Amino acid sequence: MAPPPESSHHHHHHYLLESGLLDAGKAPSAAAAAEEKEEEEWTSSSSSMTGRKKSESSRLARCPGLRRAAAQLREVFLGTKLFPLFSAVPLAVAAESLRFGRVWVFAFSLIGLAPLAERVSFLSEHIANTAGPTAGGLLNATCGNIPELIIALFALNKNKMEILKWSLLGSILSNLLLVLGSSILFGGIVNIGKERPLDKRQADVSIGLLLLGALCHIAALVSKCTSSTGDSISLSSSVLQLSRSSAIVMLIAYFGSLLFQLKTHRQIFELDEDSSESSSSEDDATDKSVIGFASAVVWLIGMAAVIAILSNYVVTTIEEASESMGIPVRFISIILLPIVGNAAEHAGAIIFAFKNKIDITLGIALGSATQISMLVVPVILIVSWVNGIPMDLDFNLLETGSLVMTVITTAFTLQDDKWHYLKGFNLVLCYVVIAVCFFILKALPRGSWRTRGGWLTRARHSCALGRARPGAFALKLRESRRSLNWRHQRRKMPKFLREDMSYLF
């Protein structure tokens, strides 16, 4: 007879004999007993594991709310590629609680705002898709800029007007130059020779609103230079009245444009076939989502609360962090804050440009800039008006000039229905020039003017309201009189300043 085929058990038995772990006589029976014991342990452990899994699945089946909550947690926090940055949120809170350096608090808060802003956009899209087109457009307009609005409100509460204005200005410049420019640049490189024509209808509406907003800022700036009023208090009140009236006009214009785009002329702004197909597929994807309308509202409120905490940290520590890092506060507020806050919109606009869907890119960039200029800025101004805080639309000369030239440059870039990478390259270079200006040039005190002896500060508001000591101001004037012919310079001063300082001589 042929010998039976060797089994794995037979090989295992020979291995134990050769290694000396079994005796020659008792090896087969002991090995068989050990193997049977191992099989029993494995079957018992596997049965316990399957029983545990069945108990967990049955527990989840008995608690559908728990299963839904777990799915929502997974979709909200793990559904973005920026989810590793969520770790910066508890680090910022810990750095503030343990009294770490202000630079660490500022850095962690700034990093933590990026994924939160992206999730706010994600949740606002869910709410907009559920609420219908008209209400959805209004909700997108309101919720899409929640980070900028919260930062501005905290800056207003802490009476940091310069940081407030710089952050809002930076959001407009970033969307018009950096987001739109980089999208056209990279999209044009990827789609050379295959660029689709631009749909100018949406761009024309946005550019018209942006030009109206720029006109309001110019009017507030020029009114201080051309006013013949000698009294400084009446001059400030007239500028405030002009700014508040302009804010009301800006809000009326913005809501009128929403009515035009979403109701009366909605058919003009419908996307082309490919874009509609992509949007319908995205809507189907959101319909399959586990997040409903009520859940999205709750998650949005929670995200807004966390953004409020981090925004408070940013506004509180930005000046100390600026001194520690050696970076001007104006550069951080105008350049760095908008880049972090709009990181998700930047990425989305570039991705759509890669896919040759430039109309969606225009809607993201121009729509966000228009919302900041015509909705957030006047809302903040009206809130300050209600609270008795004097805020106007005068953003200073360099800031207003940058805003006006940015709007004009964008309008000329989109004047025809063609786009290529060179147009985007020019927009990005314009943003680089503005960033270098704000990094190199130091911010001058408000109301300063130039003389042969240098820059003199107009401190009449502080002296009139008792916020500065006239003796200290008079001492500075006496020092300046030694370095220049005061009478000659006094004739060159504005009339209101000569009248305000007449008591000093």
- Token digits for 34? 């050990």
Which residues lie closer than 8 Å to 349 by C-beta, 6 or more apart?
179, 180, 182, 183, 360, 361, 364, 365
- Select, from the ranges 21-25, 52-56, 162-166, the one with the highest average predicted confidence (pLDDT): 162-166
Interatomic CA distance for residues 427 and 210, integer angstroms: 16
pLDDT of 491 higher than 90: no
Reference 246, options 88, 92, 67, 377; nearest CA is: 377
Helix 293-325 to helix 88-97 angle, to the nearest 10 degrees? 50
Q: What is the DSSP letter of 374?
A: I
Indicate if the pLDDT at residue 126 is higher than 80. no
Tell me how far apart the alpha carbons of residues 341 and 452 are, in angstroms, rounded to a whole number: 42
pLDDT digits (tens, 9 = 90+) for 303-352: 888 888 988 898 888 888 888 888 899 999 999 888 887 777 777 788 88
Q: For the chain, give me the number of helices (H) and strands (E)?
A: 24, 2
> Is the C-alpha dihedral spanning 329, 331, 336, 337 positive or negative?
positive
pTM (predicted TM-score):
0.71
Q: What is the pLDDT of residues 39-69, one digit of tens each?
A: 555 555 555 544 454 554 555 556 766 777 7
Q: Are 313 and 154 a contacting pair, CB within 8 Å?
A: no
CA-based R_g, the chain, Å: 32
Residue written as tokens 């407009």?
A: 172
Cα–Cα distance, 420 to 403 (Å, whole number)? 24
Rounded distance between C-alpha atoms, residue 112 and residue 340, angstroms: 9
Residue 219 phi, psi (nearest 5): -60, -40
Is pLDDT above 90 for 377? yes
The answer to whether the beta carbons of residues 400 and 217 sit under 8 Å apart is: yes
Over the stretch 226-251, which tens digit does the pLDDT of each residue have?
A: 765 555 566 677 888 999 999 999 99
What size, in residues, is the chain?
505
